[in-house]
Amino acid sequence: MTQSNPLPFLPFSRPHIDEATITEVGNVLRSGWLTSGPKVQAFEAALSQYLGGRLVRTFNSGTCTMEIALRIAGIGPGDEVITTPISWVATANVIIEVGATPVFADIDPVTRNLDLDKLEAAITPRTRAIIPVYLSGLPMDMDRLYGLAKKYNLRVVEDAAQALGSRWQGKPIGSFGDFVSFSFQANKNLTTSEGGCLVVNSPEEARLAEKYRLQGVTRSGVDGIDVDVLGGKYNMTDIAATLGLGQLPGIDAVAAHRRSLAMHYFDCFGTSFEAQTGAQLPVADTENSNWHLFQIILPKKVVRAEFMKKMMEQHHIGTGYHYSPIHLFTLYRERGFREGMFPVAEHIGYQTVTLPMFNTLKIGDVERVVAAVKSCLY
């Protein structure tokens, strides 16, 4: 007897670029203008319009955006910046990059974002800024966050890498607040392959952001040039901007589709799943989150690597984990961080699993994933 073909591989993320955008990228390649040019300017204008008219500058990553925000805010040696231990390590690395000291606060076990009580307890006279992270696209209590920032005179650099299309009380994340950093990396709801943008507060901050993204250069006239700050090479290309221009008009529809997928996940798991397995589902947010990721927390008795291997080998389904606890990486252990300092983050960091969620995922795919999860856990 011949074995039946296995089900097609289902990844946890898959970027989608439509044919019209691919054609337009071809037009850019034929134009001869490949680096920063008219497409970058158009993308920045479109992002600004989407975010209520706020000033937006694009970059080649959503990491340098946070570093540049800290530099614009004048944060450096002797300053402390509070952030979460559960994020991509870039969130903390940029603090070290500007010479400041990273300070972690533990996370809320339900939202998996910064616990604002613990954040406030971590504030010292040296604290100058907060970098909150909206894990999986779920915003935190923005009113309370900015209330704390005002109370202690702190800058906020929102790591909204995963949150384009998310909202707070009906307003798009990025349309209000202080600095807001978005990522357009390959698995984001909107991708430019690699890239990001920074929302700033004034023309002066926008000009400084432009200097930092391209070697500190200011040009004037036909041949005038000056450098008065130490910048880097962080500019976005017109090729990347064209990808963004093709996707931005559909970002709210993408978020709505992902919300429907997330709600179907909850329906398929059912009300008894957590009690029967000891696993933890995410917050069932139907208003604010763009559902960049759908993550479950495995029971303590389950070894994550073994679960992920079963999902792949037995069910042909890819999974991921977002993220390992930053403070337990060697770079941060060398700065004095240890196990037990942030127990909620450590538990979630070791047991979190990211299930498939992407723009072209279908309802039937969700049902297949849930059936596989239950098969691996029951």
Chain segment 113-131, per-residue pLDDT in tens:
999 999 999 999 999 999 9
Amino acid letter, 305:
A
Q: What is the pLDDT of residue 128?
A: 98
Token duo for residue 169: 């009380």
203-213 helix and 64-72 helix, angle to the nearest 10 degrees = 130
**Angstrom distance (rounded) from CA 86 to CA 24:** 38
pTM: 0.96
Choose the catalytic residue: 39, 188, 211, 310: 188
Under the banding of pLDDT at 50, 70 and 90, the label for residue 4 is low
Contacts of 144 (CB under 8 A, 6+ apart): 116
Q: Which two three-digit tokens encode residue 261?
A: 């997928």
Where are the chain's structural domains? 19-250, 251-377
CATH class of residue range 19-250: alpha beta
Tell me the chain's radius of gyration from C-alpha atoms. Answer: 21
CATH of the domain spanning 251-377, picked from 3.30.70.3000, 3.90.105.20, 2.60.40.10, 3.90.1150.10: 3.90.1150.10
pLDDT > 90 fraction of the chain, expressed in percent and rounded: 98
* Predicted confidence (pLDDT) per residue in 202-242, tens digit: 999 999 999 999 999 999 999 999 999 999 999 999 999 99
Interhelix angle 90-97/64-72, rounded to 10 degrees, is: 40
Mean pLDDT of 174-199: 98
Residue range 136-145: mean pLDDT, rounded: 98
- pLDDT greater than 60 at residue 2: no
pLDDT over 80 at 5, yes or no:
no
Burial of 32 (0-12, 13-18, 19+ CB in 10 A): exposed
Please give the pLDDT value at position 6: 75
**Segment 62-70 mean pLDDT:** 98
Digit-coded pLDDT (tens) for 334-377 = 999 999 999 999 999 999 999 999 999 999 999 999 999 999 99
1 pLDDT tier (thresholds 50, 70, 90): very low
Q: Among 113, 46, 34, 123, which residue's Cα sits nearest to residue 80?
A: 123
Helix (H) or strand (E) holding 101: strand 101-104
Burial (CB < 10 A; 0-12, 13-18, 19+), residue 294, is: buried
- Is residue 188 annotated as part of the catalytic site, yes or no? yes
Instruction: Decide: helix, strand or coil at residue 133.
Output: strand
pLDDT at 190 over 90: yes
